[in-house]
Structure 1
Amino acid sequence: MSKSLTIIGAGLAGALLATLLARRGWHVDVFEKRGDPRVKGYEGGRSINLALAERGRHALRQADADDAVMRQAVMMRGRMVHFLDGRVQLQRYGRDDSEVIWSVHRGDLNITLLDLAERAGANLHFHRRLEGVDFDAGIARFIDDRDGTRHEVSAPTLVGADGAGSALRATMNAYRPLGERSEFLDHSYKELEIPPTPDGGFRIEPNALHIWPRGHYMCIALPNDEKTFTVTLFLPNEPAPGHDGPSFATLKTTDDAVALFERDFADALALIPDLRKDWAKNPPGLLATLYLDRWHLDGRAVLLGDAAHAMVPFHGQGMNCAFEDCVALARHLDAHTNDGTADLTAAFAAFEAERKPNAAAIQQMALENYLEMRDRVDDADFLLQRDLERALQERHPGRFVPHYTMVTFMRIPYAVALERSDIQREILVEATHGLDSLDDIDWASVDVQVLARLTPLQDTA
């Protein structure tokens, strides 16, 4: 098949993929149900701020987009933990400022990537909501929700980059079941905002992800380049069995919300002057993990990003994983193209085979990280294990690599990071059991475990 395809969705992944492929000589059409955000403003709705890590930056560099994006990013050195008693502690993500993540605003990033896609030669079509696909005829049907007009286009090859609620996935699933299942978290989220100071500065430390861990629930805040913080409160949907803590079901009024913050997030309450207004305006958002048995329909359609493997946001890897998908799909299309003709079935199958186990791994790690963030970052056993993790990184460089480093600062496959993290966690838990400090560690025994169970790690992605 000739080098032509249609991307559904002009969000982050769709825009980046369009750029990568257009620069490789593909004829690319992108269809988006919303209007052009560069004309009428971002319509993406509420969004937990995005954490850009090395995997995502590598993908952006492939599209020459990194410089433009980084001009709008705010560095985050680590988690700034706000304890219930008012103490604050910075827990670094890495060893120094060479190992950080970056807070980016979804809307600004989307606009930047759309400009790049258009300059690369991609054709962008807005106000085109996918209504259905005739896969046998290679025809896609779109509707303009402004006036109800319908449009049919030739689209023998479709890529679904249209998010967790993917319309293309729904049409594929109706044509040939994909083995779709969603597992909803029993927690939801609500967005609030910390505004700038009267003189236009940040109200709290800007170069950190702030977190208020409270056991079965938590609050986080990520900085924006306009000196605001996007605050996200995560609560159970219903009261947790055996716990009398808050839930969205029990917080019925804005007075209830203020009372919650007065009791559990007192230092944050003073930073959110519009808490009542934000609480009333923003309904709780659902959190779910999406699993598919199949991502593609021979050479006619393939899914990537959230459309294929939506995940909860607690490892900050959803966007980074989607961007890795884009790079991998472009690479497999290159590998299966000869004399201007692409074997799309082979390319899509190879893409799925590579990325599906890695998506499953980061989905699992994202769920695990929620428990760590809300329950463990203020726990003495966890903090001791963190200290030992850093010590073993120094004692065994390249062999004992911290979990967060593998996931965030390297590009090794997520599945490899998960496998090694499980082994390292066992070593850490066993070595610190019953101890209060590193002074009592049996270093000889721990060294034997590390050397026997972990091979040297190369970042060869």
Structure 2
Amino acid sequence: MRATEHNETVTIVGAGLVGSLLAVELARQGYSVEVLERRPDMRREVIDAGRSINLAISTRGLYALRQQGLEEEALRHAIPMRGRMIHPPKGSLVYQPYGKDDSQHINSLSRAWLNKFLMSAAEESGRVRFRYRQRVTHLDAKTGVLTVVDEATGEERREEGRVVFGTDGSGSAVRQALEQVQGFESTQEQLGHGYKELTIPAGPGGAFQMEKHALHIWPRGTYMLIALPNEDGSFTCTLFLPWKGPVSFESLDTPARLEAFFEEQFADAKALIPDLTEAFFARPTGSMVTVKCAPWHAGGKAVVLGDAAHAIVPFFGQGMNCGFEDVTVFNRLLAEHGSWESLFGALEKLRKTNSDAIADMAVENFIEMRDSTGNPRFLLEKAVEKVLLNAFPGTFVSRYSMVSFSRVPYRLAYEVGAIAGGIVSELSEGLTRAEDVDLERAGRLIQERLVPFMKEHADGFRTEG
């Protein structure tokens, strides 16, 4: 179904990261694209989108950019994060590498920069038109007719005869329209925590005031603080707290309580945030939701991708990476299917089970980050895991490495991770040092449990793009 064979215009609802990358891809395939965005043009106006300032882009997201010739420029603006730097309430910092060596790392990247970059790349194709302050008020899933209000003029119009791609986020208007489809089901699970972003400014001369190449975490059981580095030497800090309870956003209702809380729990971070009270009470508190739905499409008339189809909480750093992988898979399927309906059905079949898996892993990783990263047993197991990754390359793999440093389907990463985690847990029993792990026993366990599973699912280990 190559677009060069016909002159078809398609509509994308939502000019966020996934929508803009999809526009680049559709334009590359020869389609004319109209992108409808409710917000103003973020390249010309400052927008508080209520979204996290930083992204952790890893292998899946970088591969999607590489397919469009955009990876190299993106990496110029990214900061490699080679591991977690744990800040305990008292005592020394603890560093946990992400991979078997420094070549395996994730990258901190500005969400706003990447979004603007993708929008400009789409426009440079000459085939993409962005229209701003456009609010979709209705989509007839059976006919594909869109009703759109121009919020600048108040004018309402109907658009018909086009395929509609919904990349309009977790509150997607396109997904809501799919409720008309027989058998449609959707779940939205709100996390009991919210988040608020703060800033550690750069030091003199743009110096980083903490380790530059790490994702910093202050794990405190039911809540935590994290910090990611920025190009200008600053760090974006995100505080995750329950909405209600003894320690919550509700309880931190005065400057005095806030200051005392940070002094007790995050003293080293507090010393680096000069405008803590002002920023905390001035900035919005964000919410986090997991969205799962099916089907993702209405025949060949409309389809949802990215957060519109599968919003996930941010604790595996995979929301954008997963959405970009949707575009990678879409790109491959475009050459294999003769109709939009066939393509959309194949896309959902390949991606639904995997997006569900990463959604579940993201919630599990939240618990790990806030509860376990400061736990001595957890630290030991992570060290044992690293020993096994280096001692048994190719036969021992970890869940984190498969999710972040490969394009193996998320569902298989989830299942392999459970087996690998069980092996690490058994080998860690009675140990005080990771280097004392019994490698002979480790080899037997890997051959008995992990290798047979990987052989059984060898076909599934081909990448999704």
Q: Same fold (TM over 0.5)?
A: yes
Q: Measure how far apart 1:199 and its partner are.
A: 3.0
Q: Distance in 2 between matches of 1:137 and 1:356?
A: 24
Cα drift, residue 414 of structure 1? 0.6
On the 8 A contact 1:86/1:267 being kept in 2, the answer is no
SS of match in other structure, 2:139: strand
Distance 1:360 1:135, change over 3 A: closer
Q: Which residue of the other structure, out of 330, 337, 344, is the alignment partner of 1:348?
A: 344
Alignment partner of 2:115: what SS?
helix
Aligned counterpart in structure 1 of residue 178 of structure 2, from 128, 148, 172? 172
User: After alignment, is 35-44 or 318-327 more displaced?
Assistant: 35-44
Whether 1:6 and 2:6 are equivalent positions in the alignment is: no
Runs of 5+ unmatched residues, structure 2: none
Question: Which residue among 168, 190, 202 is the counterpart of 1:184?
Answer: 190
Would you say 1:447 and 2:443 are equivalent positions? yes
Match for 2:21: what amino acid? L
Match of residue 413, structure 2, among 405, 410, 417: 417
* Structure 2 residue aligned with 1:53: 58
User: Matched residues in 1 for 2:74 and 2:244: separation?
Assistant: 39
| SS state at 1:40 partner | coil
Q: In structure 1, give the amino acid aligned to 2:26.
A: L
Q: Does residue 1:127 correspond to 2:133, yes or no?
A: yes
1:46 Cα offset (Å): 4.1
The answer for the alignment partner of 2:332 in structure 1 is 331
- What is the 5 A alignment of 1:298-337? 298-337=299-338
User: How far apart, CA to CA, are the structure 2 residues paired with 1:187 and 1:453?
Assistant: 37
Q: What's 1:207 paired with? A: 213
Counterpart AA for 2:276 = L
Q: 1:375 to 1:252 in 2, by over 3 A?
A: same
Spell out the pairing of 1:264-413 with structure 2 (5 A cutoff).
264-337=265-338, 343-413=339-409
Cα distance change, pair 135–377 in 1 and its aligned pair in 2 (3 A): closer
Identity rate, percent: 43
In structure 2, what is the equivalent of residue 460 of structure 1? 462
Kept after mapping to 1: 8 A contact 2:12/2:165: yes
> What SS does the corresponding residue of 2:44 show, helix, strand or coil?
helix
Query: Does residue 98 of the first structure (1) align with residue 103 of the second (2)?
Result: yes
User: Hey, what's the Cα distance between the residues in 1 that align with 2:328 and 2:446?
Assistant: 33
- Tell me, in whole angstroms, the C-alpha distance in 1 between the residues paired with 2:47 and 2:124: 20
1:189-228 CA deviation, whole Å, 9 max, x = no partner?
1111111224332222221111111111110001111222
3-state SS in 1 of match to 2:43: helix
Q: Structure 1: which amino acid aligns with 2:275? A: D
Quote the offset at 1:353 in angstroms.
0.3
Change (3 A) 1:269 1:43: closer
SS of match in other structure, 1:418: helix
Aligned counterparts, 1:16-27, within 5 A: 16-27=21-32
The alignment status of 1:254 with 2:255, answered yes or no, reads yes
| Alpha-carbon distance in structure 1 between the residues aligned to 2:359 and 2:108 | 20
Distance between the aligned counterparts of 1:237 and 1:258, measured in 2? 18
Give the distance between the partners of 1:205 and 1:433, measured in 2 at CA.
Answer: 32
In structure 2, distance between residues paired with 1:439 and 1:200 = 39
Report the AA paired with residue 39 of structure 2: R
Counterparts of 1:137 and 1:315, CA distance in 2: 38
What displacement does 1:399 show? 1.0
SS state at 1:335 partner: coil
Question: For residues 42-81 of structure 1, what are the structure 2 equivalents within 5 Å?
Answer: 42-81=47-86
Counterpart contact for 2:144–2:164, Cα < 8 Å = no
Letter in 1 for 2:108: S
**In structure 2, C-alpha distance between the alignment counterparts of 1:453 and 1:136, rounded to whole Å:** 48
Q: How many residues align?
A: 451
SS across alignment from 2:170: coil
CA distance in 2, matches of 1:405, 1:439: 20
Q: Secondary structure at the match of 1:159?
A: strand
Of stretches 118-127 and 52-61 in structure 1, the one that deviates more from structure 2 is: 118-127
- Higher mean alpha-carbon deviation, 167-176 vs 281-290, is at 167-176
**2:147 aligns to what?**
141
Structure 1: distance between partners of 2:45 and 2:182: 37
When normalised by structure 2's length, the TM-score is 0.93
Alpha-carbon distance in structure 1 between the residues aligned to 2:334 and 2:307: 20
Q: 1:84 aligns with which of 70, 73, 89?
A: 89
3-state secondary structure, aligned to 1:39: coil
1:220 aligned partner: 226
C-alpha contact (below 8 Å) 2:141/2:180 kept by paired residues: no
- Aligned alpha-carbon RMSD (Å): 1.8
CA distance in 1, matches of 2:382, 2:201: 33
Contact 2:55 2:111 in 1 (8 A): yes
User: Which residue of 2 is the match for residue 430 of structure 1?
Assistant: 426
What residue is the counterpart of 1:33 in the other structure? 38
TM (norm. structure 1) is 0.93
For residue 169 of structure 2, the aligned residue among 155, 163, 171 is: 163
SS of residue paired to 1:371:
helix
Instruction: Tell me, in whole angstroms, the C-alpha distance in 2 between the residues paired with 1:64 and 1:439.
Output: 43
Q: Which moved more, 1:153-162 or 1:312-321?
A: 153-162
Q: Residues 266 and 79 from structure 1, CA distance in 2 versus in 1: closer, same or farther, beyond 3 angstroms?
A: same
The offset of 1:48, in angstroms, is: 4.6
Q: Deviations over 1:98-123 (max 9, x none)?
A: 11111111111100000111112222
The 1:401/1:392 distance shift into structure 2, 3 A limit, reads: same
Name the counterpart of 1:340. Answer: none
